[in-house]
Every structure is written in structure tokens, then in C-alpha cells.
Structure 1
Amino acid sequence: MTTEQFSGLKAVIFNGTLTRSPGVSHTDGLIGAARALMERNGVEVEVIRTVDHRIAPGVYPDMTEHGWETDEWPGIFDRVKAANILILAGPIWLGDNSSETKKIVERLYSNSADVNDAGQYVYYGKVGGALITGNEDGVKHCTMNLLYSLQHIGCVIPPQADAGWIGEVGPGPSYLDPGSGGPENDFTNRNLTFMTYNLMHMAAMLRDQGGIPAYGNVPQKWRDGERFGFVPPQPQD
């Protein structure tokens, strides 16, 4: 394996922590392990801690057109459009994704009707993954929600596209706390490594073949009457 295989790929990782910089984010610790692995393989990585930005809530591409004074999302979305890999990361609160993580899902959805150069929905050709931290149960619940959301808007989800760390069930130390065992946890480290390579492999495959083939999935052609061979089921007597 050489870095040339992944050279030129770009990844954007959203950190849905509720802690503003420069405060310690345990999610950022887990992100850092995936980021370092990607960068060692030639991938350009940008991590966006959403709570540090004035990203308005809502489901429209620019919320300043819907009553908000400021909205950094349009500029951030330009970086998303340029990325091959998109990872949603965040903490667990009350067994679910954080409000910041959910806000990014909603803002990604706000652009889901945009199209790429092939006329497909804009997230076609990107791959998605999820990273979750916490000190109680909920990793699988949170990643189910995130991976479903990413595929629904058009991302490809490779096999084993999630990883997380929660420690023992019940309140306890968080990932970066001294003695937590998080950074040394073999199960977490294995899953994070597999996820990272699967994301890079799938992103390189899609890039090298020019994305998802643009047949049977171009919305404007459907609106124009093309049905790509689909025949509606006939009513039965």
C-alpha cells in the first residue's frame, strides 16, 4: 500500500462537541486518530468544530434568507462539496447525538437537492462515516442515525464505516481522561482503523471511476419524462 493511492483525496470531519475551543473535546481525541491515519496516507483533512462557528439552525441552504442575521454554512458547504470523504463525529448525550451533530445533519440536508456536474444529487460520489464518543451506552444508536442520514442524501457508506468509544456502561471517565483506557482500547482502535481505510478505499475507487454512474439517478431527466426502463406495476383484479 502506498500513499499515492489516496493522494489528492480530501476529507471533512465535523465535530459535534458542545465544548468550544480551546476546551478539551473527547470527540476530537478520537477524530485525531483517524485524521493522523488519513494524513499519513496523503489525504488532506479538515476538522470543523461546529460549535465554534455561527451556523444557523434550519433546513435551507442560507438561513440569512429566512430571518437569521448570520450563517456561516454557505462557506462551509463549499468545503463539503470539494471533499471526497465526509465524517460526522460527536458525543452521546441522553443516549443520542448532540444538538450540534443534529444541526449539521439538517444543514447537509438543506443542500441535498443541489446537483453535481453529472446532474446527480450533490453528495453522489462522496463516502460517509461516523465517529462517536461518550461514557454511557448509545454508540450503535447514534451511528445508525448518522449513517442512514448520510446515505439518504446520497453518500456511499462502505462496510464498517463507524467506530466509537464509550467505556463501561454507566457514568465514568471520558475518552481523553487519565486512566480511561480509551486511547489504548483495542476494539475501538481496530474499528477506527478499518473505518478509516474503508473510507479511503471507497473514496479512491469512486474518484478513479468518475463517481457513481449517471444513469437511472439524474433528477432533471426524471422530471423531463425519462424513466430509465421503469414500468409501474399494473393493478391486479
Structure 2
Amino acid sequence: MTLRVLALTCTLKPSPAKSSSDLIARQLLDLFAEQGVTGEVVRVVDHDVHPGVETDMGAGDAWPEIRRKLVAADILLVATPTWVGHMSSVAQRVLERLDAELSETDEEGRPAMVGKVAVAAVVGNEDGAHKIIADLFQALDDIGFTVPAQGGTYWNGEAMQGGDYQDLAETPKAVASANATLVRNAVHLANLLGAKPYPAS
């Protein structure tokens, strides 16, 4: 089975500005590609995603097209910066729009996102990565995604020193190891769920 991954980067910086969140997402997609998984990165802030908790918020809403890509994917990667200890407002909006999936079901009566794997990547020059990953995983689990073992990766700069992940000369060994584990476990879990789906509701 050929797997697909969709990376939603939740930076506040529109393209073509450089982004640490976008960088780590693309590094992870490169690792997924080594495992035979195809995918793409969507920088959410480049699209007019309307506020709301419906799958389609009407004229001009860009979420339905992003959702179409998510429906076609087996793995969702959410990459976000840390802002005052929390995920970005863009990441929060993604979660709010995904709330609509609680009322969407497949032909077997399961929530629409059940059977998909979710992973997370967080970067920032301040503390907060563990809490952000916990918040993301709780929300994504509620929506129906399955989280693999060690499905989160992050980089935090030294406290109160500034600096960005994109400015590093190379990926720190600990981050590279976490990235590789995330990808390996996500692919393993997605293959298992593809072969043996959750029971019908």
C-alpha cells in the first residue's frame, strides 16, 4: 500500500518567507519519502482559512480544498512554532476546523478521520514544546486520529537567548533521532491501520 502524508505548517509567516516550522516539516517529508511515502506541505497561512467549526464556511473559504488533501492522506503532520508557550493561532484554527470531523462519518459509521495517523513537530526559541504536543495530540485523538509511539519531535533554543531552528548549521543529533523515530513509527502504524481498520460503529 502506498501511503500519503500531508504536512500542515502553521507558521505565521506567509510564503516565501523562511520558516523554521516549514523547514522541519520538509525534513520530515524527506524522511517519509525514504520510506516510500509520498506527500506535500501546505503552509496554512498562505490560504484564506475562515474561522469556524464546519467543513465549509462558505464563499472564499480555503479549508475545503485543504480538507480534500487531508481526506486523501494516511498521515497528518502538524508543524507549529511556539508563541508565548503555546501553539500558533494558525495551528489552533486548524484544530477548530477539524472539530467538524466529529460529525462526519465514513460508510461504516466511523468518524471520518478514524484510521489516519497524526504526528507533530514543534520549533521555538522558548519553552512549551511538550505542552503544545500534548494539546495537539489530545485534540487530534478526540477527532479520531491515532498517535504512534514517540510521534512528536521538537527543538527549543536555549532559554532567553533567541535564535531559530532554521539558523542551525546542522540538525542536532537528538532532533534527527526523534525525527527518524517519528517517521518510522508513523509509517508502521499507518500500514497496520490500513491492513486492519478499526471496527465499524
TM score, norm. by length of structure 1: 0.82
For residue 168 of structure 1, give the secondary structure of its aligned residue in structure 2. Answer: coil
Q: Would you identify which runs of 4 or more consecutive aligned residues in structure 1 move more than 2 Å?
A: none
Partner of 1:158: 148
When structure 1 is superposed on structure 2, of 111-120 and 48-57 the one drifting more is 111-120
Residue equivalent to 2:174: 187
Q: Shift in Å at residue 16 of structure 1? A: 0.3
The Cα of 1:50 is off from its aligned counterpart by 0.3
The residue number in structure 2 matching 1:35 is 29
- 1 or 2 for the larger relative contact order (CA 8 Å, sep ≥6)? 2
In structure 2, C-alpha distance between the alignment counterparts of 1:154 and 1:207, rounded to whole Å: 15
CA displacement, residues 68-122 of structure 1 (integer Å, 9 cap, x when unaligned) = x410111211111111101111100001000101100111112221011321000
Equivalent residues in 2 for 1:1-237 (5 A)? 8-64=2-58, 69-177=59-167, 180=168, 183-209=170-196, 211-214=197-200, 218=201
Gaps of 5+ in 2: none
Give 1:172 deviation, angstroms. Answer: 1.5
CA distance in 2, matches of 1:158, 1:116: 22
Query: Is the contact made by 1:137 and 1:170 (CA closer than 8 Å) also made in structure 2?
Result: no
Query: How many residues in Structure 1 have an aligned counterpart in Structure 2?
Result: 201
Larger Rg: 1
Given residue 161 of structure 1, which amino acid in structure 2 is its aligned partner? G
TM-score where L is the length of structure 2: 0.96
Mapped to 1, the partners of 2:156 and 2:89 lie a distance apart of 19
The alignment partner of 1:129 has SS state of strand
| Whole-angstrom distance in 2 between the partners of 1:110 and 1:58 | 9
SS of 1:13's equivalent in the other structure is: strand
1:80 partner amino acid: L
Residue 225 of structure 1: aligned partner: none
What is the identity percentage for the equivalent residue pairs of Structure 1 and Structure 2? Answer: 33
Determine which structure has the larger helix proportion and give its number: 2
Structure 1, gaps ≥5 residues long: 1-6, 219-237
SS at match of 1:14: strand
1:146 Cα deviation from its structure 2 partner: 0.4
Q: Secondary structure at the match of 2:144?
A: coil
Which digits, 9 at most, give the CA deviation of each residue in 1:122-149, with x for residues without a partner? 0110011110010111110110000111
Q: CA deviation at 1:41?
A: 1.5
